[in-house]
Amino acid sequence: MLAKYQKLSLGAKFTLILLGIFVVGMTIGGIVIYQLAQQVAERSITNRSEAMLDTMNAVRTYTSTHVNPELADRLMTEAEFIPETVPAYSARTVFETFRQQENYAHYSYKEATLNPTNPQDRADQFESDLVSQFHADDSLDEITGYREIDGERVYFIAHPMRVTSETCLNCHGSPENAPPSLLNTYGDQNGFGWQLGEIVAAQVIYVPAGDVLNGTRQVFFAAMGIFTVIFGVAIIMLNRLLRPTVLTPIATISALAEQLGRGNDETREITLSELSARGDEVGSMARVFQRMAENVRKRERELKSEVQQLRVVIDQEKRQREVEQIADTDYFRTLQSKAAQLRERLNNPPTSGD
């Protein structure tokens, strides 16, 4: 494995290292980003739900301050109950209108009450716990989280619901004071005996966990997409930059080294002048290498001329020795003595008649 890695080119090594960082970074980053994305998605749904709950409460207030007083007399006299006088009714009706928009299609709304007028509003075990938590802590004004309803996981946003005004007690106080038409419709058993200021219900919005998940995925993939693009560009850019700044210079320098090693053919000289002008580490390496190459060449030239001189000396000595060898032979000596005799004879020619 390591041996294979060592054999890779610099560019491939860098890419591999960056890919490693990318994989590790994306794994760790992915976990963190996923959690952040989930928080963002939950926050966005919570914000939306809070706005809805505020709207719902505004509608409730409008009903009890504007609609109910107009119809209160008719409630006491007519046999038929008028649901439009009930804040809870207007809130539910407005919510149904909300749900017709695609954004809110999966949302559901419940005024989960411990002692409800309408049994459909009865708090289940989980919701009763929420009400208890609001009872226990007066400053608590929101609980969010996940739960299961009929096997489906849902995200919830719950606010405490108080009996805010005396008018509520017209219908939720004691059955004796309640409009007869209300008693006709709902009976005299449930939704009575509430106190002013009491927290009677948890106002809850439910959203399928799938909606949160979709939001989470959107944020998650957007963030991961951006990271991937940044990493991808970084890897490509690094490879692009590596070529002119490191890879090509190293190739040039090693080609020059090889040329020097082969004993140099100066006609096809590789110059480092462009590289050595650079201010970075490659530049200083090129300068050092240039100086070294010059020294090597100079020394080589000196060596050559020394060898030349040496050869001349050797040639002279060789000739000398050859001469001496020739002079040393018997043949040469006889020749010499013959020459001497000849010279003798020439110098002292024999007198005639001798």
Angle at 218 between CA 215 and CA 220, to 5 degrees: 105
* Cβ at position 149, least distance to ligand HEC in Å: 18
Distance CA 96, CA 90 (A): 10
């043949």: which residue's tokens? 331
Query: Which residue, 205, 203, 118, is CA-closest to 164?
Result: 203
User: Which residues neighbour 42 within 8 Å (Cβ) at sequence distance 6 or greater?
Assistant: 144, 155, 212, 215
The closest residue (CB) to ligand HEC is 168
The smaller minimum CB distance to ligand HEC, of residues 199 and 213, is found at 199
The smaller minimum CB distance to ligand HEC, of residues 46 and 110, is found at 110
Distance CA 22, CA 229 (A): 11
Task: Classify residue 151 as left (phi > 0), alpha (psi -120 to 50) or beta.
Answer: left
* Cβ at position 53, least distance to ligand HEC in Å: 13
Query: Which residue, 284, 285, 281, is CA-closest to 254?
Result: 285
* Cβ at position 61, least distance to ligand HEC in Å: 7
The smaller minimum CB distance to ligand HEC, of residues 41 and 182, is found at 182
* Cβ at position 165, least distance to ligand HEC in Å: 5
* Cβ at position 231, least distance to ligand HEC in Å: 53
Residues that bind ligand HEC (CB under 6 A): 64, 68, 75, 85-89, 111, 113, 116-118, 121, 161, 163-165, 167-168, 170-172, 182, 186, 191, 200-201
The smaller minimum CB distance to ligand HEC, of residues 54 and 152, is found at 54
CB atoms within 10 A of CB 113: 26
The smaller minimum CB distance to ligand HEC, of residues 34 and 89, is found at 89
